[in-house]
């Protein structure tokens, strides 16, 4: 099966490509930079260079493809907003090209959304992209995940760097909100199996989550324990997201355009609607602690974690 992986130089794309090849897929990558794909070490059968903003290269990338993975976002470099229109335009160009190429299935990775509250800008944008891509091909599938625990996951690295570098944590009011982080290995397996999932389970979104429900405060405490450190914590009564996101980005060496919308998403519970995905996809889930320990070991091979 010829399968396309967009975002081939990113964390998920670089890990997904070899997993698909082990299943017998012929994997074509789509990216803006061959150098970045090479730096990520992504093994591909072929690479098409292009640009999701202009649509350049999409027709060539999708030609003959049965299943296409859409792993593109556009939050970086646009602190304060403006990424939503760009993300939707990118998705619409991709959807049009997928229809023209006769792609059978698009697989999209989005985010868990609040069940009783309006979504953040980031999650609302993910939902708009999801709707566009589900309509692009008859058997499309969307997976919605919360924090991904993996050494190359930018949200996980952000948390590790904050704990590693800050002597004291001033935790906003969102520390009480709950979520279900997922092991990067489990997410990868779910994504890989989405390519061949029976068509009876396609044409919809699936909430994917790990087995452990944690508040964000508990998540940070458990992560600190795994890092063998103690960090005094002060609870704040407000979220202060614009200020907190700038501070977090500076401390962690991240793009505030990425951090601010991610932090806005913490302001509500992000929990799965049901437990159906793991059973339907046939995936056994790792615990939070097992996921963290493995991710920390792998992260230490990539960068210095002083606390460890």
Q: Hey, CA dihedral for 78, 79, 85, 88, is it positive or negative?
A: positive
* pLDDT for 257: 87
pTM of the predicted protein model: 0.93
Place of tokens 């600190």: 224
Tell me: the pLDDT tens digits for 209-226? Answer: 999 999 999 999 999 999
- Residue pair 190/283 in contact by the 8 Å Cβ criterion: yes
* pLDDT for 75: 64
CA angle 184, 240, 181 (to 5 degrees): 15
Q: Where are the domains of the chain?
A: 2-148+180-210+271-282
* pLDDT for 16: 97
CA atoms within 13 A on the CB side of 39: 8
CATH topology of domain 2-148+180-210+271-282: Rossmann fold (3.40.50)
- CA–CA separation, 16 and 26 (whole Å): 12
Helical H segments across 23-145, by residue range: 34-40, 58-62, 83-101, 121-134
* pLDDT for 78: 53
The side-by-side arrangement of strands in the sheet containing 204-207 is 46-49, 26-31, 2-6, 67-70, 105-111, 141-145, 204-207
CA angle 176, 293, 152 (to 5 degrees): 85
- Residue pair 108/143 in contact by the 8 Å Cβ criterion: yes
Residue ranges in the chain modelled with pLDDT below 70: 75-81, 307-308
* pLDDT for 77: 54
Among 290, 293, 280, 243, which Cα is nearest to 263's?
243
Other Cβ atoms less than 10 A from the Cβ of 29: the count is: 26
Tell me: the pLDDT tens digits for 26-56? Answer: 999 999 999 999 999 999 999 999 999 999 9
* pLDDT for 42: 92
């Amino acid at each position: 099966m010829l399968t396309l992986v967009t975002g081939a130089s990113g964390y998920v794309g670089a890990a997904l490509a070899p997993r698909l090849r082990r299943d017998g897929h012929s994997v074509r990558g789509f990216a803006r930079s061959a150098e970045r794909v090479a730096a990520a070490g992504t093994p591909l059968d072929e690479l098409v260079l292009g640009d999701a903003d202009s649509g350049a290269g999409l027709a060539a990338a999708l030609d003959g493809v049965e299943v296409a993975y859409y792993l593109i976002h556009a939050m970086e470099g646009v602190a304060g907003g403006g990424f939503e229109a760009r993300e939707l335009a990118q998705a619409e160009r991709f959807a049009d090209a997928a229809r023209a190429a006769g792609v059978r299935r698009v697989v999209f990775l989005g985010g868990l959304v609040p069940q009783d509250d309006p979504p953040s800008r980031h999650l609302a944008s993910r939902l708009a992209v999801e709707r566009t891509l589900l309509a692009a091909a008859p058997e499309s599938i969307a997976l919605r995940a919360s924090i991904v625990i993996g050494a190359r996951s930018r949200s996980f690295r952000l948390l590790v760097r904050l704990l590693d570098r800050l002597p004291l944590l001033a935790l906003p009011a969102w520390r009480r909100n709950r979520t279900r982080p997922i092991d990067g290995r489990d997410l990868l397996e779910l994504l890989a199996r989405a390519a061949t999932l029976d068509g009876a389970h396609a044409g919809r979104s699936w909430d994917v989550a790990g087995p452990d429900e944690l508040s964000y405060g508990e998540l940070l405490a458990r992560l600190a324990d795994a890092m063998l450190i103690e960090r005094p914590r002060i609870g704040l009564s407000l979220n202060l997201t614009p200020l907190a996101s700038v501070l977090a980005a500076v401390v962690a060496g991240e793009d505030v355009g990425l951090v601010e919308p991610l932090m806005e998403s913490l302001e509500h519970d992000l929990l799965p609607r049901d437990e159906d995905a793991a059973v339907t996809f046939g995936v056994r889930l790792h615990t939070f602690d097992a996921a963290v320990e493995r991710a920390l070991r792998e992260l230490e091979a990539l960068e210095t974690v002083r606390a460890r």
